[in-house]
A and B are shown apart, each in its own frame.
Chain A
Amino acid sequence: MKHTNFLRPLAVVLGLALGLPAQAGTYDITVDKVRIDTGTFKKNGIGYNGSQTPTILHFQEGEDVVIRVKNNLRESTSIHWHGLILPFQQDGVPGISFNGIKPGETFTYRFPIEQAGTYWFHSHSGFQEPDGAYGAIVIAPKGGEAVPTDRDYVVQFTDKHPHSGSRIFRNLKASADYYNRAQRTAQDLIEDAGAEGLKAALQDRKMWGAMRMMPTDIEDVQGFTPLINGASTQQNWTGIFKPGEKVRLRLINSSATTYFDVRVPGLKMTVVQADGNDVKPVVVDELRIAVAETYDVIVQPREAKAYSIIGESAGRTAMVRGTLAPSAGMVGPYYKMRPQPLLTMADMGGMMSGMDHSGMDMGGMDMSGMDHSGMDMSGFDMSGMDHSGHDMSGFDMSGMDHSGMDMGGMDMSAGMPVVPSEGAPGAAFYAPGSGLIPTAANGGKFLGYEDLTARKPLYRDRPATREIEIRLTGNMERYIWSIDGVKYEDADPIRLKYGERVRFKFVNETMMAHPMHLHGMWTIIDTGKGAYDPVKHTVSVAPGTTLYTETEVDAPGQWAFHCHLSYHMAGGMFRKVIVEGGPS
C-alpha cells in the first residue's frame, strides 16, 4: 500500500503532464486486526493496512480502478464504497452484491470512477465498521476542483468506543438505556423544581414516564472517544497551513451512531460540497454532519496561530479537537462542551401520528401547525384525546394513564434549553419546536439542508413517476428498529423500475434521527429548488418530521437501503432494493 500511495500522485501528475487521462490504477488494501489506542483506552479492533489511521484512497475521475482487498481477519469481511456509482456486484454488501471476502482470501474490485468528490469506504459485515474498518476516498475531478485551494485535508470523524460493536449491540438489546449516562436524575429534578416549580417539574417527569420515553435519548451510545483521522483530542491530528492559504477540509462522519457539530472557531467555513457533489458555496459558522455524510468546507486562516477543528457530538456527550496550525506540534485551544439538549414533545410528533387514533379528533393535535415558539405546549391538550378503540398495533399505549396526564396546562419550558422557533435558520428540516435544532456556538449561521443548492444539476428536473412511503419505525425500549414496522428479515424487497424517477416520502415515527442511505443511486433532497436540489447519498431524517427525496432509478441490480446508524441497521432498519429492467 505504501508504495502505491507514493506512486499514485506521481502517476497522476505524469498522466496530466502528458495530457493523458489516468487509465487504470491498482490499489491494495489489507484488512487487519489492529490494536487501537485512543490515548484514553486501548482495544482490539480492525484497521485497513494495519493502522488505526484511516487509509485514504486518491482516485481520478474517469479512471478504471482495480482494488485488491486481502482479508487477514479470521472472519469474512467486505468493503462498500460509500457513495460511489458502480455496478452492483462491486458494491460490497454481503448477501446483496456478493458473497463477502472469506478469511485469507483476496477479492478484486474493478469499476470505473464516474464521479468526483469526497467519499468513504467501510466494511459492510457484522460490526466491523464500528470496530475500525473504514477509510476515505478522494476523487479528483477531471477539470480540477471548482473551487481551488492551497491545502487539502481529509477530516474523518468516528466515535471510538471501548466496547466492541457486537457487545454494544448486545448491551442495547439487554437494556436500551445501557449507554445513556445523561439521564435526568434526582438532582435535575431538584434544579428544575427550583427553576420552574415542583409541580411543573413533576408533571414533565410524569409525561415522559407515562410514555416510557426519555428526553435525553439522543445518542444511543455514549462513553466513546471521538477521533479525527484516527487521533483523539490528546493525540491531536494537525493540518498545516501558511497564513492566508485556503484550506479544504473534507469532513467525513464515519461514526457508528454519532452526529457531530463541526466548527473551526474564529473562521467561517465555506461549504462547497455535500456527499461528493458540489454545491453553491454557502458560508456558515457551524454544521451538523450526520453519520455517513460528507461535507467539503474551505477555511482561510489568516493568522499564524493554531486553530481548532471542533467536533461536538449532537447529544453533547463527547467532543474532539483537531488542529490547523502553521507548524507541527502546535495545539489548538479546547472549548467547553455546550449544555446537553433535551428532546421535546415536537420530536415525539411522529410517534403520535404513527398511532392510529381512529375516531379521534386530531384537530387539537396538529403538530405541524402548532406555534411552538417559547415552547408553550398549551395547545397540545392530550387530556381531550379519545383513545377508546384505537388500533394499538403501531404504538402500545395500553399502560398509559391519560386521565392523569393533563398536558394542557403544562409548561414545557421547564429545564429545557432555548431552541429556535420555526423558520429559524437551520431549522427547516427539524420538527418545529424540536429540541435537536442546533445553533452555532458563536450565534452565527448553522448549515441546514435548505441551504444546499446543487452547483450544476446532475439530472434534468422531471415529475416523479410515483411516490413510495418509507416509515421509519422502532421500539425504543426493546431497541428494535424497522421500516414500516417490519424488520429486514421479515420484509419483501422494494422493487423499482429502471428508468423511473421515484419520490420517497420518509416519515420518521421514532424519536431519533436516522441517516438513511440508498446504495447505487443518488438521493435528491427536495428543498424546493427543482433541478438545483442537492444530490446526496445519505439523508438525515429528524424525529417527528417528513422529508421527501427523489431518485432517478438509473442503476440496475440489487442494492442495500438502510439507516446508517450501525446498530439500527443491524437491528433491521434495512431493505433490499431491486431495480428491475435496464441494461444487464
Chain B
Amino acid sequence: MGAYSKETNHMKKLLLGTALGLPLALTFTSVAMAEVGVSPTVWGVRTDKLEYRMGDEENSFAWGFEAWTGNDELRLVWKSEGAKIEGGDFEEMDNQIRLQKPITDFFDGFIGVAASTPDGAPERYYGAFGVTGLAPQWFEVEAALYVSEYPYIGAEVEYEALLTNRLILTPSIEVSLPLADDPAREIAAGGGSVELGLRLSYDLIGRSVSPYVGVNYERAFGGTADILRDHGHEVDELTGVVGINFMF
C-alpha cells in the first residue's frame, strides 16, 4: 500500500505540474502587447465546487475547477474534480487536459487525456472526446466519451437560476455510465452513478468570490450498486455542503 501510494502521489505531482505549467507558460509568453484589433490570448480560472461536505458518516472536502488559456479558435483547458475525506484518502481525483475548439456558435468540441487517480484504487487513464457548451434555455451541458480499457460516458448539466442578479440557485446533475466492468474499482458495465446538486450562491465580490450552501446527493445504480452492497458499502450518500466559488 505504501509503495502504491507513493507512486500515486508522484503521478499526481507530475499531472498537476503539467496541467499548471502549460497554461501558465502560454499565458505569459503572450502577455506581450497585442497588435491593435487583434484579440490577445486570454485565460481564466473558475471553480464550480470548492466545498466542505457534511455526511452521516464522514465529512469531506470537494473541489471542481477549470483553468484555461487560449483565444477564440482554441483553448487549452485543465479540468479537475475530486474529494478528500477529512483526515483520510482522496476518494476521488480526476484531472483532464483538453484542447477545446468551437464547433458551433454555442458548442465546443474537445479532445484530451483524463486521469482518475484516487487513493486505494487502481489508476485509470482515458482519452476524452466530447462536446461542451450552452444548450437552448441556458442549460450548460457537457457530454464526453472516455476511452480506455474501461470506457465510460460522462455527462453534466447545470442551470443557473437567478433569484436576484446576485443570489443564484444552481441545480446540477452529473451522470457517469460505465461501458465495461471494472471490478477493481467496484464498477459494473451499465451500472451508472448519478450526482445531483443544488447550490444557493451569493456573488459577494463581483463574480470573483461567491459563497454558497447546498446539498449534494450521489447514488449508484445497477450492477455497480450491487457490488457496493455486496461489499457492505452504501449505494447513496446525501451531504450538506458549504463552500466558496472563485473566478479570476
Which A residues are within 8 Å of any B CB, using their own CB?
A: 75-76, 93-96, 124-126, 163, 166, 169-171, 173-175, 178, 181-187, 206, 209-212, 223, 392, 395-396, 398-401, 475, 477-478, 480, 487-489, 560, 562, 569-572, 574
A124 → B minimal CB distance (Å): 6
Q: Contact: B164 with A185, CB < 8 Å?
A: yes
Known: A185-B163, A396-B106. A174 touches B46 (CB 8 A): yes
Q: Contact: B39 with A126, CB < 8 Å?
A: no
Q: Contact: A489 with B38, CB < 8 Å?
A: yes
Closest 10 CB pairs of A and B: A574-B37, A396-B105, A209-B137, A488-B37, A174-B44, A185-B162, A396-B104, A170-B42, A181-B165, A173-B42
Known: A182-B165, A184-B162, A185-B164. A95 touches B35 (CB 8 A): yes
User: What residues of chain B lie closer than 8 Å to A187, measured between beta carbons?
Assistant: 163-164
User: What residues of chain A lie closer than 8 Å to B39, measured between beta carbons?
Assistant: 173, 487, 489, 570-572
Known: A186-B161, A560-B36. A210 touches B136 (CB 8 A): yes
A352 to B186, CA, bound (A): 52
A542 → B minimal CB distance (Å): 22
User: What residues of chain B lie closer than 8 Å to A572, measured between beta carbons?
Assistant: 37-39, 72
Q: Contact: A395 with B40, CB < 8 Å?
A: no
A556 to B34, CA, bound (A): 26
Question: Does B247 have its Cβ within 8 Å of any Cβ on chain A?
Answer: yes
B21 → A minimal CB distance (Å): 20
Question: Does B207 have its Cβ within 8 Å of any Cβ on chain A?
Answer: yes
Report the nearest B residue to A173, measured CB to CB: B42
User: What residues of chain A lie closer than 8 Å to B42, measured between beta carbons?
Assistant: 169-170, 173-174
Chain B positions 218 through 248: 1 when the CB is less than 8 Å from some CB of chain A, otherwise 0: 0000000000000000000000000000010
A417 → B minimal CB distance (Å): 18
B235 → A minimal CB distance (Å): 34
Report the nearest A residue to B169, measured CB to CB: A186
Which B residues are within 8 Å of any A CB, using their own CB?
A: 33-40, 42-44, 46, 72, 102, 104-107, 134-138, 161-166, 206-207, 247
| Candidates A182, A212, A560; contact of B136 at CB < 8 Å | A212
Q: Contact: B134 with A175, CB < 8 Å?
A: no
User: What residues of chain A lie closer than 8 Å to B46, measured between beta carbons?
Assistant: 174
Known: A186-B162, A572-B37. A178 touches B138 (CB 8 A): no
Q: Contact: B33 with A75, CB < 8 Å?
A: yes
| Candidates A93, A170, A477, A488; contact of B44 at CB < 8 Å | A170
A151 to B149, CA, bound (A): 82
| Candidates A75, A173, A209; contact of B138 at CB < 8 Å | A209
A75 to B36, CA, bound (A): 14
Scoring B36, B134, B207 by chain A CB atoms within 10 A of each residue's CB, the highest score goes to B36
Q: Contact: B43 with A170, CB < 8 Å?
A: yes
A212 to B40, CA, bound (A): 26
| Candidates A169, A477, A562; contact of B40 at CB < 8 Å | A169
| Candidates B37, B72, B207; contact of A478 at CB < 8 Å | B72
15 sample A-B contacts, Cβ–Cβ < 8 Å, listed by A number = A94-B36, A125-B36, A126-B33, A126-B34, A170-B44, A174-B44, A181-B166, A182-B165, A209-B136, A209-B138, A212-B106, A399-B104, A488-B37, A560-B36, A570-B39
Q: Contact: B136 with A399, CB < 8 Å?
A: yes
A186 to B162, CA, bound (A): 6
A400 to B102, CA, bound (A): 18
Q: Contact: A475 with B105, CB < 8 Å?
A: yes
Known A173-B39, A186-B163; further 15 A-B contacts with Cβ < 8 A: A94-B36, A163-B206, A171-B44, A173-B72, A182-B165, A186-B164, A209-B136, A209-B138, A210-B136, A210-B137, A212-B138, A400-B136, A478-B72, A478-B102, A572-B72
Report the nearest A residue to B164, measured CB to CB: A185
Report the nearest B residue to A170, measured CB to CB: B42
A102 to B104, CA, bound (A): 41
A478 to B42, CA, bound (A): 13
Report the nearest B residue to A405, measured CB to CB: B136
Scoring A166, A212, A569, A570 by chain B CB atoms within 10 A of each residue's CB, the highest score goes to A212
Report the nearest A residue to B71, measured CB to CB: A173
Known: A76-B33, A398-B104. A570 touches B162 (CB 8 A): no
Report the nearest B residue to A576, measured CB to CB: B37
Report the nearest B residue to A571, measured CB to CB: B39
User: What residues of chain A lie closer than 8 Å to B136, measured between beta carbons?
Assistant: 209-212, 399-401
A176 → B minimal CB distance (Å): 10
User: What residues of chain B lie closer than 8 Å to A178, measured between beta carbons?
Assistant: 207
Report the nearest B residue to A404, measured CB to CB: B136
A432 → B minimal CB distance (Å): 27
A489 → B minimal CB distance (Å): 5
Q: Contact: B165 with A183, CB < 8 Å?
A: yes
A163 to B206, CA, bound (A): 10
A382 → B minimal CB distance (Å): 14
A400 to B105, CA, bound (A): 12
| Candidates B35, B44, B166; contact of A94 at CB < 8 Å | B35
Q: Contact: B206 with A399, CB < 8 Å?
A: no
Report the nearest B residue to A401, measured CB to CB: B136
Q: Contact: B36 with A574, CB < 8 Å?
A: yes
| Candidates B36, B44, B135, B161; contact of A399 at CB < 8 Å | B135
Q: Contact: A399 with B35, CB < 8 Å?
A: no
User: What residues of chain B lie closer than 8 Å to A401, measured between beta carbons?
Assistant: 136
Q: Contact: A570 with B206, CB < 8 Å?
A: no
A475 to B34, CA, bound (A): 21
Report the nearest A residue to B104, measured CB to CB: A396
User: What residues of chain B lie closer than 8 Å to A488, measured between beta carbons?
Assistant: 37-38
Scoring B37, B39, B42, B162 by chain A CB atoms within 10 A of each residue's CB, the highest score goes to B37
Q: Contact: B165 with A185, CB < 8 Å?
A: yes
Report the nearest B residue to A206, measured CB to CB: B137
Report the nearest B residue to A562, measured CB to CB: B37
A397 to B43, CA, bound (A): 28
Q: Contact: A96 with B36, CB < 8 Å?
A: yes
Known: A206-B137, A209-B138, A562-B37. A480 touches B165 (CB 8 A): no
| Candidates B33, B102, B105, B107; contact of A395 at CB < 8 Å | B105
User: What residues of chain B lie closer than 8 Å to A93, measured between beta carbons?
Assistant: 36
A560 to B105, CA, bound (A): 28
